[in-house]
Each structure stands twice: as structure tokens, then as C-alpha cells.
């Protein structure tokens, strides 16, 4: 009998990447041959079993080609980096980081060097405009609300009157 929670393979979890506690997904580790291939590339500044860092020159050239409209995977192929070794997620993630750096007005760094913190000399970026909180529109008109308030007050008086009648009947027995 097939397991109904099985998605994408003959065993539960087949085809899925491992999810880290912080919600990110883990990349597959490189084999020894893939590590050697990446280490020998002049475009790679650093490589470990799961991460790759690129040279500043490669980042600049890749960004220029990307801005010219060239497909990210094709950019890696043209410089001799095997897209199958890196995988689509790593390549697209690389360009996402480049877009973020350029969006913040930063220059690319060598390898895995961190980007400098926000420069205090730089003018602050304008804050996005906030929408006015208009709240929910009223579900009933004011006249309907007043009518219902009067009705509740009238019914409260009726209840008090009925209580007095019941109390008087009990007292009279």
C-alpha cells in the first residue's frame, strides 16, 4: 500500500533538500572531483565542501554580462564553470547577491569578504511611503446603529419589568 504523504519518489522525502532549522535549504556537498574542478578555476576565490566564493573580477564581468541580458547559467558556462556541478540554485543565488549589493550601491568584494556596513557618509535612503490606515468601513450606517441601541434599551426595560412581576408573584404566594 502506498504512503499518501510520499511526494516525489519511491521513499518518503525522496527528491527533497534537507531543511535547516533557520528555514533555509541545504546545498548538496561537492564530490572530490568537483572540488578539484572548482579549485582549479581562476574565477573561484574559495571553495569548501558546500560553498563557493568568486573573485571580484569574475563578479564584475558576470554582472556586466547579466546586465547585457545573458542567461546566468550561460555566463557560468562561457567562463568554463560547469553549471551542473554548481547547480541552478547556487548560480541564481549568486546573482541574487549581486543584485542586492548593487541595489545597496556597494562594490563587489573579493571572495567571501563581507560587504562594508552602511557607510555613515552616505545619504540615507528614503523610506517607502506608508499607506494611511483607513480602517474598516462601518458595516452598518449610523442610523441603523442608533435604532438597534434604542431597541436594546427598550428590551432591557421590558426584562426589568418582567423580573418585577415574577418577584411580586413569588412574594404574594
- Tell me: the pLDDT tens digits for 70-87? 888 999 999 998 888 888
Q: What does pLDDT average to over the chain?
A: 79
- Identify which of 55-59, 106-110, 133-137, 155-159 has the greatest average pLDDT: 155-159
How many Å apart are CA 11 and CA 2, to the nearest integer? 10
By CB atoms closer than 10 A (0-12, 13-18, 19+), residue 94 is buried
What confidence category does residue 6 fall into, taking pLDDT thresholds of 50, 70 and 90? very low
Q: What is the mean pLDDT of residues 18-29?
A: 67
The DSSP bridge partners found for residue 47 are: 52
Helix ranges (H only) for the chain are: 32-40, 56-67, 72-78, 83-86, 88-103, 142-172
How many Å apart are CA 146 and CA 148, to the nearest integer? 5
The DSSP bridge partners found for residue 19 are: 25
Any idea where the domains of the chain sit in the sequence?
32-103, 143-173
pLDDT digits (tens, 9 = 90+) for 125-162: 555 555 555 666 667 888 999 999 999 999 999 999 99
Q: What is the mean pLDDT of residues 99-126?
A: 69
Amino acid at each position: 500500500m502506498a504512503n499518501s504523504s510520499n511526494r516525489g519518489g519511491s521513499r518518503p522525502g525522496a527528491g527533497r533538500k534537507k531543511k535547516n532549522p533557520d528555514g533555509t535549504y541545504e546545498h548538496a556537498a561537492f564530490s572530490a572531483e568537483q572540488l578539484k574542478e572548482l579549485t582549479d578555476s581562476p574565477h573561484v576565490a574559495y571553495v569548501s565542501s558546500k560553498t563557493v566564493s568568486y573573485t571580484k573580477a569574475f563578479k564584475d564581468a558576470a554582472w556586466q554580462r547579466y546586465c547585457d541580458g545573458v542567461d546566468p547559467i550561460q555566463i557560468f558556462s562561457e567562463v568554463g564553470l560547469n553549471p551542473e556541478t554548481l547547480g541552478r540554485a547556487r548560480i541564481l543565488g549568486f546573482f541574487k547577491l549581486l543584485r542586492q549589493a548593487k541595489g545597496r550601491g556597494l562594490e563587489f568584494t573579493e571572495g567571501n569578504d563581507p560587504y562594508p556596513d552602511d557607510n555613515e557618509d552616505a545619504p540615507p535612503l528614503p523610506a517607502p511611503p506608508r499607506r494611511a490606515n483607513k480602517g474598516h468601513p462601518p458595516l452598518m450606517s449610523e442610523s441603523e446603529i442608533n435604532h438597534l441601541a434604542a431597541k436594546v434599551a427598550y428590551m432591557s426595560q421590558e426584562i426589568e419589568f418582567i423580573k418585577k412581576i415574577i418577584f411580586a408573584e413569588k412574594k404574594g404566594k
